[in-house]
A = this chain, B = another copy of it.
Amino acid sequence: MLEEYIYNAYMESFENKRRGDKLEEIESIQKYIRSAKKIVIPNWTTTKVKIINKVLNEFNLNSAKHFEFPTNSADFFRMPALAKAQMALDLCDCDLVIARGRLGIPGSGSLMLFLDSKGRILTGACSASHVVHGKSLESAVYDEITECLERIGLTKE
């Protein structure tokens, strides 16, 4: 399903005719996320998993499983959040990864990413470092996962 929309958008860009995201593209992402059964959250601790699942349930989506492995090596990469998501994809069987990690260099705050079973980016949300926003970890994660879903047109049911 996604391949068809990605192919068409690729050709539009090639022909210099691309004019922004289309409703059917967004709906195909919604459909992928709604039908995802093996959702994993790579992490070393469980705090974030509980909050993410709370929000997934509020949006009437399937729950995610905690995929526990030492994730600090993700910080050695230029985009730790993406590295962490890709590691989880390569290390376990899943059709959706929800990963949260650093956006870029130390101090750059966090990024939450949704990756599909091929490692393609479906949605994401950035937030500031704790030092700047002053929110609790729970509240920051709650806001990020909500934004990830709302920005692709999903709503609480």
Given contacts A21-B129, A128-B150, A132-B152, contact A107 B26 (CB under 8 A): yes
Q: Report the nearest B residue to A72, measured CB to CB.
A: B13
In the assembled complex, how far is the CB of residue A110 from the closest CB belonging to chain B, in whole angstroms? 8
In which size bucket is the chain A interface? 35 or more
A131 and B23 contacting across the interface, CB-CB below 8 Å: yes
With most chain B CB atoms within 10 A of its CB, the pick from A82, A105, A127, A130 is A105
Chain A contact residues: over half helix, strand or loop, or mixed? mixed
A56 within 8 A of B: no
In the complex, which residues of chain B have a beta carbon less than 8 angstroms from the beta carbon of A25? Answer: 105-107
Contact of A21 among B82, B119, B120, B130 (CB under 8 A): B130
B125 and A126 contacting across the interface, CB-CB below 8 Å: yes
A9 within 8 A of B: yes
In the complex, which residues of chain B have a beta carbon less than 8 angstroms from the beta carbon of A26? Answer: 107, 129, 131-132
B128 and A152 contacting across the interface, CB-CB below 8 Å: yes
Contact of A76 among B13, B22, B28 (CB under 8 A): B13
Interface string of A94-129 (1 = CB under 8 A from B): 000000001111111101000000011111111111
Q: Report the nearest B residue to A24, measured CB to CB.
A: B107
